[in-house]
Chain A
């Protein structure tokens, strides 16, 4: 059967476009320009190379307080009933908090810089209980998401329409160890994300999983520019 594990969320922001300039002396001369009274003059020409690099500022959270997120909330998830979890969300499995992702992301307008949001997942799920059975391959998990990103172009131009993430619970996708982009998004140069509200749901097909206590760790929301 498939087990609904819960929801997690994040909030992050990304902004600022720093410029780095390198000034390199190219030549010097002892000749004084006309009109300058001095015993000797030194002039220098400079070549300038500037790199405009995107900067990430991320903020994770709902702005309020909540218990540290654990799949299933504060109560461990137990295999009581279940099958298709979206419709079988018994209270013991319901997280007490269903936070959302809110993001502000600005990529550099410099050539070729694009931004992206994606999710990093662990490669395996291990048990820490002595004498326990072992691990669950991360591929046994799947996830779904729903919500919207609202892009914006503060520097001008037409305002893009909200991007709707429609990978809903009806068609959860397999979690692949490493990074998952199924609920991610890419940004064009100079664009930003004004707001977003994404809800994620994690599932586990536990038919072949031995009864045990398992630990999940290593999930991250990542912003990136390439």
Chain B
């Protein structure tokens, strides 16, 4: 459809692209970050240092920038980054610091930086879980700000005391549509005080035989959060199956749920 009587609107990803001729640039930007996950158990007023390794694997110099970020997982299991403090009383991000937040790495160069968690003395001594972290980004040294970059998260968990761990499997059912693959839908709720990092296992059985052995992805579930796990069970021929879901959340028990699926 043509636009009439209207000025052109120019939208560019980068102003430099308007001003400078675009020279071909190698696209490869590569870095290694480790570790991505750190779990701590410190008392208020104490601190802990962790070494982070960042390496430039590319053939060009890279600009590394680390920024504090709050984060959480959503009900569908996806991860979202948030402004610092968004997790309110559970955010430990402001208590985290790095020995360096910005630096250049030459090709092949590796740098160790120190991440420190200073647990505030003002935190309640009661058992509770906190979390926070950093987003570590890399871009070619000469790349314009508009360049699509890469990033890796460094997530930190901190438990004060021993917050209770408990996960509840609230419902579990297999839905089978006429045109869609049958899907297991399980609803879980973390009704404990601690975050729950789960290992899940799904077995599809028929007449005593295991037909399918699946390891669903269940990202961390925070206290008072609900998770809806949707796991497609594709390529199952018509029939009746037993579907068994096992969840190990690191507590005193392992959750086991069984349901029957009728595939038409």
Do A and B truly interact? yes
* A16 interface contact, C-beta 8 A: yes
Distance in Å: Cβ of A207 to nearest Cβ of chain B: 10
* A66 interface contact, C-beta 8 A: yes
Among B88-96, B99-107, B122-130, B142-150, the stretch in contact with A: B142-150
* A24 interface contact, C-beta 8 A: no
* A61 interface contact, C-beta 8 A: yes
Which B1-47 residues have C-beta < 8 A from chain A?
A: 1-3, 6-15, 17-18, 22-39
Distance in Å: Cβ of B7 to nearest Cβ of chain A: 4
* B151 interface contact, C-beta 8 A: yes
Which B137-162 residues have C-beta < 8 A from chain A?
A: 137-138, 143-153, 155
* A25 interface contact, C-beta 8 A: no
* B79 interface contact, C-beta 8 A: yes
A65 nearest CB neighbor, chain B only: B24
* B248 interface contact, C-beta 8 A: yes
Q: Are the CB atoms of A71 and B13 closer together than 8 Å?
A: yes
Q: Are the CB atoms of B215 and A77 closer together than 8 Å?
A: no
Q: Are the CB atoms of B148 and A8 closer together than 8 Å?
A: yes
A18 nearest CB neighbor, chain B only: B34
Distance in Å: Cβ of B143 to nearest Cβ of chain A: 6
A93 nearest CB neighbor, chain B only: B11
Assembly CA distance A172 to B140 (angstroms): 30
Chain A interface extent, by class:
35 or more
Q: Are the CB atoms of B10 and A53 closer together than 8 Å?
A: no
Q: Are the CB atoms of A116 and B29 closer together than 8 Å?
A: no
* A43 interface contact, C-beta 8 A: no
Q: Are the CB atoms of A179 and B80 closer together than 8 Å?
A: yes
Distance in Å: Cβ of A86 to nearest Cβ of chain B: 14
Assembly CA distance A66 to B10 (angstroms): 23
Q: Are the CB atoms of B155 and A68 closer together than 8 Å?
A: no
Q: Are the CB atoms of B151 and A222 closer together than 8 Å?
A: yes
Which A10-43 residues have C-beta < 8 A from chain B?
A: 10-13, 16, 18, 20
Contact check: which of B2, B14, B57 meets A217 at CB < 8 Å? B14
* A46 interface contact, C-beta 8 A: no
Q: Are the CB atoms of A114 and B217 closer together than 8 Å?
A: yes
Q: Are the CB atoms of A70 and B250 closer together than 8 Å?
A: no
Q: Are the CB atoms of A120 and B151 closer together than 8 Å?
A: yes
A-B contact pairs, 7 of them (CB 8 A): A54-B37, A79-B10, A112-B196, A112-B198, A157-B213, A179-B79, A216-B13
Chain B residues with a Cβ under 8 A of chain A:
1-3, 6-15, 17-18, 22-39, 57-58, 71, 73-74, 77-82, 135, 137-138, 143-153, 155, 196-200, 212-220, 234-235, 248-250
